[in-house]
Amino acid sequence: MLVHAIRNREWVWAIFIIIGVGFGAFWYYFTVYRDSASSGFELPGAQSRARVKELEAKIHHLDNAYHYFQLGDVYFRRGKYADAEKSYRAALGREPKDVDTRAHLGQCLMRLNRAAEARPLLEGVMNEKPEHDYGYSMMALAEALTALGETDNALLYWQHIIQHHSYPRAKVQLAELYAAKGKPDAAKAELKDVLSDDAHAPAFQRSRDRVWIRRAKSLMTKLR
């Protein structure tokens, strides 16, 4: 009942359920939940598990590259990168030239700390579609180059990205490179933009970018 209340932003009820223990949950069930049960309440993660089963069934009957790709994306979002890699490679085995699969496999390999393997995939994507996935593939390539010690090339990619996007992920990592190269003023300028934008960002965006905001604050403290 607490999960249902939080997911539906019933904050007063959530507090009451916590304070009231069993009685609060019981009252919520008859007052709110029973009337909304028909809308499709399910436990967290149930939707992605159902999607995995659905895609596995389609793969069994159709053996389609696109379904393997979609399955890889589901695993990727759940943080199951080894399973995602297997699905992406299965998709590539059926459609080797698919740009989306190559890009997502490259990003998956980056999560597995295999930058050397990710680099050629991501560079191939950049040669075909420089702005693929709204700059996310380029960010992954910049991260791969940084991990491989090619910071000058990575710097060029980061600079290109922030000319077209305002991603904290890009600005913070660009600032970190500036700081490492002895350019504290340039680093501070990027960090100030990130922190200023965060102060006015909607809640969902702040939650999504919180790791970069922490890194921005940490680096700003060191540069003062």
Question: How confident is the model over 64-121, as pLDDT tens digits?
Answer: 999 999 999 999 988 899 999 999 999 999 999 999 999 999 999 999 999 999 999 9
Beta carbons within 8 Å of 103's beta carbon, 6+ residues apart: 121, 122, 125, 132, 133, 137, 140
For residue 203, is pLDDT > 50?
yes
- Tell me how far CA of residue 163 lies from CA of 60, 155, 157, 171, 207, in angstroms: 45, 13, 10, 10, 24
For range 189-218, the mean pLDDT: 92
HSE, CB side, 13 Å, CA atoms: give it for residue 75: 23
Question: How confident is the model over 117-135, as pLDDT tens digits?
Answer: 999 999 999 999 999 999 9
Residue 127 CB: number of other CB atoms within 10 A?
A: 9
Q: Which two tokens stand for residue 224?
A: 């003062």
For residue 41, is pLDDT > 60?
no
Residue 70 CB: number of other CB atoms within 10 A?
A: 19
Domains delineated in the chain: 1-38 (no CATH), 51-133 (1.25.40.10)
pLDDT-above-90 percentage for the chain: 69
pLDDT-above-70 percentage for the chain: 88
Angle of CA points 154, 80, 206, to nearest 5°:
60
Question: How confident is the model over 169-186, as pLDDT tens digits?
Answer: 999 999 999 999 999 999
Q: How far apart are the first and last CA of the chain?
A: 47
* Distance (Å, whole) CA 124 – CA 63: 26
The pLDDT value given to residue 207:
83
Backbone angles phi, psi at 97, to 5 degrees: -95, 0
The pLDDT value given to residue 224:
84
The pLDDT value given to residue 202:
86
* Distance (Å, whole) CA 50 – CA 65: 19
* Distance (Å, whole) CA 114 – CA 93: 20
For residue 36, is pLDDT > 50?
no
